[in-house]
C-alpha cells in the first residue's frame, strides 16, 4: 500500500491497536479541525496585510515552522495530535501571506484558486467513493513516480536559483509550455488526493491506533496546501 504523499508512508498504518481505533468519521472531523486552524491564521495574516502591515516575517515563520512540525509529525506519528494542529496554524500564516500578495497583483485570483481546490477535492472524493476511480497498483505507481519527478525538478530549480541565479526552463513561464507544465503538476497533486483517500480508508479498515486519525488528516492537509499553491500559480500564469 503506497501513496504519493510523502508523509503517508508504506508502514504508516501497519500496526493494529488494542484500544480505540481509527475511523473514517474521526479522521474527517480531524481534517475539519486542521482546516479551521489553517483558515484562521491565514485570515489573520490576510487582514494584517490589508491594513498595511508587513507580513513577510509571518510568512517566513509560517513556512519554516510548518516545515519543522511537518517533519516532526512525519517521523513521530504519535505526536500528531499536538504537532498536526501546530503545523496547520503555521502553514496558515504562509498561505495567508502568499495569497494576499497574489491578490494584490491579480484581484480575484484567491477566491478562484480556493474554489477550484475545494471543487477538485469534492469531485475526486465523489469519484473515489463511487469507485469510478479505482486505486490500482499501476495507478499508484504512476502517481508516485510523477510526484517524485516533480519533487526532483523543484529541488533542481531551487539549487540552480540559489547558486547560479538560474531556473529550470519553462517552469515559471507564462507561455503555452509553462501553462502546460502547471496543468500537469496540478493534475498530479489532485491525483495524490485519491491516494490519500484510499490510504486513510485502508488505515481505518486495518484498525490503526486512534492517534492515526490526526496523522491521516495531517497528510491530507499537506496535499491540499500543495494543490492550492499549484492552482494559484497556474491561474497566475493564465492571468499573465
Q: Are 93 and 225 in contact (CB under 8 A)?
A: no
The tens digit of pLDDT for each residue in 132-159 reads 999 999 999 999 999 999 999 999 999 9
Q: Are 197 and 128 in contact (CB under 8 A)?
A: yes
Q: 34: closest CA among 73, 75, 76?
A: 73
Three-class SS state of 167: coil
Q: Are 22 and 210 in contact (CB under 8 A)?
A: yes
Q: 74: closest CA among 181, 229, 236, 222?
A: 222
pLDDT along the chain (240 residues), means of 10: 52 57 92 96 96 94 95 94 97 96 95 96 94 93 95 93 88 92 96 93 90 93 96 95
Establish how many alpha carbons lie within 13 A of residue 217's alpha carbon, considering only the half-sphere containing its beta carbon: 31
In order, the DSSP letters of 13-43 are T-S--SSSB--HHHHHHHHHHHHHHHHHHHH
Amino acid at each position: 500500500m503506497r501513496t504519493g504523499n510523502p508523509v503517508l508512508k508504506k508502514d504508516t498504518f501497519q500496526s493494529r491497536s488494542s484500544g480505540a481505533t481509527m475511523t473514517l468519521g474521526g479522521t474527517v472531523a480531524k481534517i475539519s479541525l486542521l482546516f479551521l486552524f489553517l483558515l484562521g491564521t491565514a485570515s489573520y495574516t490576510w487582514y494584517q496585510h490589508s491594513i498595511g502591515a508587513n507580513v513577510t516575517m509571518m510568512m517566513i515563520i509560517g513556512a519554516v515552522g510548518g516545515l519543522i512540525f511537518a517533519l516532526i509529525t512525519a517521523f513521530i506519528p504519535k505526536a500528531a495530535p499536538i504537532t498536526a494542529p501546530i503545523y496547520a496554524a503555521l502553514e496558515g500564516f504562509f498561505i495567508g501571506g502568499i495569497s494576499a500578495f497574489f491578490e494584490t497583483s491579480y484581484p480575484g485570483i484567491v477566491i478562484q484558486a480556493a474554489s477550484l481546490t475545494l471543487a477538485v477535492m469534492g469531485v475526486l472524493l465523489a469519484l473515489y467513493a463511487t469507485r469510478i476511480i479505482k486505486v490500482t497498483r499501476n495507478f499508484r505507481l504512476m502517481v508516485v513516480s510523477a510526484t517524485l519527478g516533480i519533487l526532483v525538478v523543484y529541488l533542481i530549480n531551487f539549487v540552480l536559483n540559489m547558486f547560479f541565479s538560474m531556473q529550470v526552463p519553462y517552469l515559471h513561464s507564462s507561455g503555452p509550455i509553462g501553462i502546460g507544465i502547471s496543468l500537469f503538476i496540478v493534475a498530479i497533486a489532485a491525483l495524490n488526493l485519491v491516494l490519500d483517500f484510499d490510504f486513510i480508508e485502508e488505515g481505518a479498515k486495518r484498525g490503526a491506533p486512534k492517534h492515526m486519525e490526526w496523522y491521516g488528516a495531517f497528510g491530507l492537509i499537506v496535499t491540499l496546501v500543495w494543490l492550492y499553491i499549484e492552482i494559484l500559480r497556474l491561474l497566475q500564469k493564465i492571468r499573465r
